[in-house]
Amino acid sequence: MDIPSDLFYTKTHEWARRDGKEIVVGITAHAQEELRDVVFLELPKIGRTVKQREPAAVIESVKAAFDIYAPVSGTISRVNDAAVKAPQLINQDCYGQGWLFVITPASAEELTSLMPADAYSKLIQQDSAH
């Protein structure tokens, strides 16, 4: 399972990457594999304020719709329009072209409350053991 070491992770399977003062958000390879067949994205409007651990977007696969939670609180500054037009990018390149949205964080600390790669790796190993 691909879990890049330079990213931060949530228990709900989002990843967050520091990009200057902003935070880029997407879903992990594990989440992508569980969802399969992504066919529709509903991303937040630019300028919307989001709160950590609250729903910020929706991904629909053929099977069902899934909430995507904001990994940190802040303001949405960009969204991935290319992925809205081609939702299969989430399955094809979840850490690259399949990013979802960018948050200008309200504070710098929240990111450090997320999991580093090794902790996330342990979490999904426990998940799959069930």
Binding site for another protein (CB under 8 A): 36-37, 39-40, 42, 58, 60, 62-65, 91
Phi and psi, residue 73, nearest 5°: -80, 150
Query: Least distance in Å: CB of 19 to another protein?
Result: 28
Q: Give the list of residues 6+ apart from residue 127 with CB closer than 8 angstroms, or none.
A: 30
In DSSP terms, 14 is beta-bridged to 27
- Rank residues 22 and 34 by Cβ distance to another protein and give the closer one: 34
Query: Least distance in Å: CB of 34 to another protein?
Result: 9
Q: Give the list of residues 6+ apart from residue 60 with CB closer than 8 angstroms, or none.
A: 38, 39, 40, 41, 42, 66, 87
Query: Least distance in Å: CB of 107 to another protein?
Result: 29
- Rank residues 62 and 108 by Cβ distance to another protein and give the closer one: 62
- Rank residues 67 and 118 by Cβ distance to another protein and give the closer one: 67
